[in-house]
Structure 1
Amino acid sequence: MSFRDNPLGELKVPLTWAAAIALIVAIVAAAAILVSDRRETFKAEAYGATRRASDTVLAPVGDALATPGRWLGDGVDVVRGYFGAVAENNDLRRQLKDMRQWRDVAIALKDENERYRTVLGLKTDPPIPMVAARIVSDSRGPFADTRLANAGKEKGVKPGNPVMSENGLVGRVIGVTTGASRVLLLTDIASRTPVMIDRTNARAILTGDGGPNPRLDYLRGRDPIREGDRLLTSGDGGVLPRGLPVGTAVKGLDGRWRAVLASDRAAIDFVRILLFEDFTQVLNQRELNLMPPPPPTLGAQALAATPPGAAAPGPAVKPAPGPAKIAPAPDAAPR
């Protein structure tokens, strides 16, 4: 038997029956409401029984009629909550984006403050006056490597002053004007810096060749250097103070000893310019003057004792010897 021939498939509930049932339910509910709304009280027992009956009938009917409304209200709340959650989510996304930007700014400021504190905390032994500056521009090329710092004559900067970052020696000042100074980096081809190996105290000249790792020329001594040895300024020639950190020694690909500069650990943004001219700034002159001054001469003492306005006493002058006087001859005796 085919599906079309199935007798159950032909069963259909007439719409008139459904309308009739709905009408009957509505009539019963209306009658119950009318009965429950009675206000006659001449028979309290009958009124109470009627009210209870109507309440019994209305409870399930009212619940059935109120269910779609509750469903509709719940659906509206769900839709409203969904759109509210979407709007709130978008708002939170914008706030998170703004907070990430502020986080990046805070991290940058924290790093800048740490570098400021490190640069400002640089000290030398013995102490040397310093000036803080910021690198404002650089000049790079195959042979030149210089930077421009925003401190000049007004702060006492002079050509030859060493320049340091928070990590080590950067170079030295080669030109000064009001408000700016030109810094020659250690990597410049014109840079020559006397250094020493901290482990052996051997001397060398750090020679810039335009690359990131300057050469170590004129090494002296037997086995003077090894991989990783610390390099410091030697102070030879009085150009730079002794003991400033320069970098570490490394063997280049060409077989020559070179230096990995300590200043390359971070960007050169903030520097300290050492107002160093010669070793007389770092030496105690009183301790150097160990010999007493020579005593003043006799003439200086007499000159100091002469009252003002009086002629200075001169040396005693002896009279020049004159011609010898001849005594007269005695008269001749009488004959």
Structure 2
Amino acid sequence: MAFRDGPFDNLKVPLIWTSALVALALVVASVLLLLSDQRAGRTDAEGLTVRDTFEAGAGPVNGIFAAPVRWVGQASDYVRGYFFAVSENRRLRAEIAELQAVRDANIALTNVNRQYEALLGIRTEPPVSAVHARSISEARGPFVNARLLDVGSSRGVRVGNPVINEHGLVGRIVGTSGGVSRMLLLTDVASRTPVLIDRSDARAVLAGDGSGNPRLEYVRGEDSVREGDRVLTSGDGGGFPRGLPIGVVARGIDGTWRVKLFSDRGAIDFVRVLLFEDFSQLVDAEALNAPPLAALETAPPPDPRTAAAIADAQARRDARAQAQAGAQASAPASSAASTSPASASQPEPQP
């Protein structure tokens, strides 16, 4: 049976009565709210105020009516957060991409600064002027063990200048132009470098053969080379300053002594070209050719008492010398006088 066929099918409620009942319910609710706000001083037998009694009864009802409102608010927050999360995710992705580029740039700058600091920390004794350079290309073909640097003769670079990096000697300059120079590495077959063994002070020649570890040739002395010995430039021939670090000695597969280069510890990107030609530029030629008493000529005058003592000693020496000269002069005269009577008394020889 349908609802319209029930006993309430013909029941009709007037609209006026419905409105009146709703209004009455609202008035009652308003009165109850007003009563709840009143702070009556009366108390019943249990000591509860009117407001407390009303709140105790209306609390569960308010919780029931407030639950749907909370659910709707939570649902709206979830929907709003979901749609905002999409745009927020896109923004964060773009920001991460930008920060990754900044991070990569910072890492590169940190590496460059570390190499520059290491280069600036290298000091030669005596000090040699130098220019900083960057390896701009890596040669191919017959010049595989050579590099091009972005400095040339306009910066004072000349053929034969040593090239070092933050670890040690790298090579030498074999060609220059106005703004570019060619650097020959120690591993090239045309490279020959006079070296010394730091432990024994033995001399040798470091010869490149195209491999990563050049050979030690012409080593003199017994037990002059051992594995792990440090190899430095000897300065023989005047082509390199003495004491530049090169590497450590190791035994090769073929049984020869070879050197593990310090410069292989990192990429050869930034180097210093030592503007070194010969040892004459490390000292002042005028200082070497100065007269030996030049320092005494420019010395301050002595103390008066010291000068008097020196003059007195000089006068005594002069007096002693004059006395000795007078004695020597009187000695020949007395000897001549003593021999003259004897010669006169001797008879003349008969014919």
Structure with bigger helix share is 2
User: Kindly tell me: are residues 287 and 59 of structure 1, through their superposed partners in 2, closer, same or farther at Cα, counting changes over 3 Å?
Assistant: closer
Query: Residue 22 of structure 2 aligns with which residue?
Result: 33
1:68 CA displacement? 4.0
1:140 CA displacement? 3.6
- AA aligned to 1:207 is A
Distance in 2 (alpha carbons) for counterparts of 1:148 and 1:113? 22
Question: How many positions carry a matched residue from both structures?
Answer: 266
Distance in 1 (alpha carbons) for counterparts of 2:227 and 2:115? 29
1:262 CA displacement? 0.9
1:256 aligns with 2:223: no
1:132 CA displacement? 1.2
1:149 CA displacement? 0.6
Distance in 2 (alpha carbons) for counterparts of 1:195 and 1:157? 23
- AA aligned to 1:163 is V
Secondary structure at the counterpart of residue 122 of structure 1: coil
Q: Does the 8 Å CA contact 2:138/2:144 hold for their aligned counterparts?
A: no
User: Kindly tell me: are residues 15 and 91 of structure 1, through their superposed partners in 2, closer, same or farther at Cα, counting changes over 3 Å?
Assistant: farther
Secondary structure at the counterpart of residue 112 of structure 2: helix
The 5 Å alignment of 1:128-207 reads: 128-141=128-141, 144-207=144-207
The 5 Å alignment of 1:267-282 reads: 267-282=267-282
Distance in 1 (alpha carbons) for counterparts of 2:18 and 2:252? 102
1:95 aligns with 2:95: yes
Q: Does the 8 Å CA contact 1:143/1:209 hold for their aligned counterparts?
A: no
Query: Residue 85 of structure 1 aligns with which residue?
Result: 85
1:188 CA displacement? 0.5
Query: Residue 44 of structure 2 aligns with which residue?
Result: none
* Percent identical: 50
1:139 CA displacement? 1.0
Q: TM-score, normalised by structure 1?
A: 0.69
User: Kindly tell me: are residues 239 and 63 of structure 1, through their superposed partners in 2, closer, same or farther at Cα, counting changes over 3 Å?
Assistant: closer
Distance in 1 (alpha carbons) for counterparts of 2:100 and 2:183? 37
Distance in 1 (alpha carbons) for counterparts of 2:289 and 2:156? 28
1:63 CA displacement? 6.9
Distance in 1 (alpha carbons) for counterparts of 2:148 and 2:278? 24
**Relative to structure 2, which stretch is displaced further, 90-99 or 228-237?**
90-99
**Relative to structure 2, which stretch is displaced further, 164-173 or 76-85?**
76-85
Query: Residue 114 of structure 1 aligns with which residue?
Result: 114
1:215-262 Cα deviation digits (max 9, x unpaired) = 111111111111111110001111111111111111111111111111
Q: Does the 8 Å CA contact 2:128/2:274 hold for their aligned counterparts?
A: yes
User: Kindly tell me: are residues 31 and 77 of structure 1, through their superposed partners in 2, closer, same or farther at Cα, counting changes over 3 Å?
Assistant: farther
User: Kindly tell me: are residues 32 and 199 of structure 1, through their superposed partners in 2, closer, same or farther at Cα, counting changes over 3 Å?
Assistant: farther
- AA aligned to 1:107 is I
Distance in 1 (alpha carbons) for counterparts of 2:3 and 2:234? 110
Distance in 1 (alpha carbons) for counterparts of 2:133 and 2:152? 9
Secondary structure at the counterpart of residue 79 of structure 2: helix
Secondary structure at the counterpart of residue 125 of structure 1: coil
Secondary structure at the counterpart of residue 211 of structure 1: coil
Q: Does the 8 Å CA contact 1:143/1:189 hold for their aligned counterparts?
A: no
- AA aligned to 1:223 is D
User: Kindly tell me: are residues 29 and 95 of structure 1, through their superposed partners in 2, closer, same or farther at Cα, counting changes over 3 Å?
Assistant: farther
Q: TM-score, normalised by structure 2?
A: 0.66
The 5 Å alignment of 1:280-299 reads: 280-289=280-289
Secondary structure at the counterpart of residue 231 of structure 1: strand
1:196 CA displacement? 0.6
Query: Residue 44 of structure 1 aligns with which residue?
Result: none
Secondary structure at the counterpart of residue 195 of structure 1: strand
Distance in 2 (alpha carbons) for counterparts of 1:34 and 1:279? 115
1:160 CA displacement? 0.6
Unaligned runs of 5+ in 2: 36-53, 294-351
Q: Aligned Cα RMSD in Å?
A: 3.8
